[in-house]
Amino acid sequence: MARILANADNRRTEWFIFAAIMIVAFAIRAFIAGLDHVLQGDEGAYVWLGKTLLSGGGYQFFGKPELHYTPFYPIVSGLVWLVVRDLELASKASFVVFGTLTLVPVYLLARRVYGRWSGYVSALLVAVAPALTSYVYFWGSMTEPLYFFLLFWSILAGLIVLEDGRWNMAIATGIFLSLAYLTRPEALSYVVLIVGYILLVRLVRWRKEAWRTLGLAGLVILVFVLISLPYWSFLRAELGYWSLTGKTWIAFVGHKALVENDLVAFDRVVWGLDSSGLEVMYHSMDKFRHYSMLDELRVNPRLFALDVLHNLRQMDGVLLSKRVFPFFLFLPLSLGLFRSKWGERRRVHELYLLLLVLAPSAALMVFTIDLRFYHGAFIILLIWVGHGLVELGAWLQETVGRGSRRGEGMVGIGSVGLVIYFCAIQPAVVRDGLEDKRFHYKEVGQWLNVYSMPDEVVMSRGAITAIYADRHWVPFPHTEYQDLLRYARAHDVNYLVINSDSFEMMRPQLAFLMDRKQLPEELEWMHTHENGAGSTVVLRLVD
């Protein structure tokens, strides 16, 4: 009876400590979410898709079937929008809720692999790290919190399948992997890795259970396929062939241009006109019919290899910066990995985590060095750091004496020290994030919401302005003026939105439109917005 009461007491203490860590995670994210924000880039597209889908408009983006973005985050954010009726608030709520809930599978994974105290410290580091909080808020697509919540549940469930051979966990692994993939397509690599590792380890360790192992792996794949099949069918109906994602060629060449800091090339690839002259490449079927990533690799494999090496050389400035993973964390990380002996069970665990860090990172190196694509590896690095702090405490306790409390004190001091460090870094990340936000497009969109008619069409480089105006959007193409005019007339455009800084940098051939004296007679100057991003002008296209 005393043992039962002691165990219950331990469980209450455990969940009390973990609940306190969750409160810290929630408070930090809620505070950040209270800062000014703009639905720019991918984030705006995702939440608009959710609103359109949940309003009965189908899976389309301003009249175009959506082939780039996977649908699960739009569904989730759309459900939140149905409650709050505000797109920004729906995005912020998803950031706070799923960012906080990600701590649950991270804690359970670290506890299963290393123990309870390692789970606490790992969860605490994930709760406060700027790369997983303010960085996501300002530079992410807001799919990251939901994606990592689902991904780490799938990693945990996959480990349970590997060790315990439980059928219900095989189903759970398939569900979480499919939903992670439907949130972000790079989860496909984890499907291969987790299923492959389950097969390899179980067939080696439990040869007599070969059929059970094959059944478990097959069940994971079956569940994954069944849940993903409706999306694949949608892609097939639009593309005319089976595909796992619509983000191949344009993602590859676009990210390549960004990595090389060639903004003009990026703008031309994404927003240049297709062969018809009436559609931008981003929305054109030409990129599926006439281009492919494999063709890019076959044409110049040497250039591809050099680009990958360039990405690799840039990684230390991305992942190993003082705002993400400072160099001094390698000490606890090394202790977490190597201070204790690797027995058979430990080897299985560590190779599993190492595989999930190295293989997806190597695959992503082909495309980009953008930090948000490497957060999965970063979270596992923080788990190793968290365990390393516990190992440091254990070393001190063994050295000083078993009766000493100095080991636990070292764990506490190390954890609090890292929390203070990460919190001290947050203001700089927030400051840079606020400077990066395109508030001028948001404010112009709000102006258009008041001073334009609901059925009028806005043409701008990104969809931000149209989203805040609640008007139909047409992409602003990268082309010469006469082709631009023909395109705008064909799409019944009423308003053109131009920013002096971005157009001078990426579209110098159209920069003359910022000069009233050079304005063609078919354009009327309507509104000017001035801020740190230069002048943003609204022009009206007249007959």
Sequence-ordered list of residues with C-beta below 8 angstroms from that of 252, at least 6 positions apart, any chain: 293, 296, 366, 367
pLDDT > 90: what percent of the chain? 65
What are the pLDDT digits (tens) for 447-489? 999 999 999 999 998 899 999 999 999 999 999 999 999 999 9
The pLDDT, as a whole number, for residue 202 is 94
pLDDT > 70: what percent of the chain? 93
What are the pLDDT digits (tens) for 232-258? 999 999 998 899 888 766 777 776 776
Burial of residue 450 (number of CB atoms within 10 Å: 0-12, 13-18, 19+): exposed
**How far does Cα 159 stand from its chain's mean position?**
23
pTM > 0.95: yes or no: no
Reading the block at residue 420, the tokens are 């203070």
Rounded Cα distance between 307 and 309, Å, is: 5
Residue 521 per-residue DSSP state? T
What are the pLDDT digits (tens) for 41-67? 899 999 999 999 999 999 999 999 999
The pLDDT, as a whole number, for residue 539 is 96
The pLDDT, as a whole number, for residue 8 is 56
The pLDDT, as a whole number, for residue 75 is 97
Hey, which bits of 407-486 come out as E strands?
457-460, 472-475
Rounded Cα distance between 525 and 333, Å, is: 59
Reading the block at residue 424, the tokens are 């001290």
In the chain, list all ranges with CATH 3.40.190.
439-541
Whether the predicted pLDDT of 406 surpasses 70: no
What are the pLDDT digits (tens) for 160-189? 999 999 999 999 999 999 999 999 999 999
Sequence-ordered list of residues with C-beta below 8 angstroms from that of 217, at least 6 positions apart, any chain: 170, 195, 198, 199
CATH architecture of 439-541: 3-Layer(aba) Sandwich (3.40)
What are the pLDDT digits (tens) for 257-312? 766 777 888 888 888 999 899 999 888 888 887 666 676 667 777 766 777 777 77
The pLDDT, as a whole number, for residue 191 is 96
Helix (H, G, I), strand (E, B) or coil at 530: strand
Whether the predicted pLDDT of 508 surpasses 50: yes
- Cα pseudo-dihedral 224, 225, 227, 228, rounded to 10: 110
- What number is the average pLDDT over the span 355-370? 80
Of all residues in the chain, what percent are helix, strand and coil, respectively (each to 5)?
Answer: 70, 5, 20
Q: What DSSP line would sit under 58-77, residue for residue? A: -SEETTEE--SS-SHHHHHH
**Which of the four pLDDT bands, split at 50, 70 and 90, describes residue 445?**
very high
The pLDDT, as a whole number, for residue 476 is 95
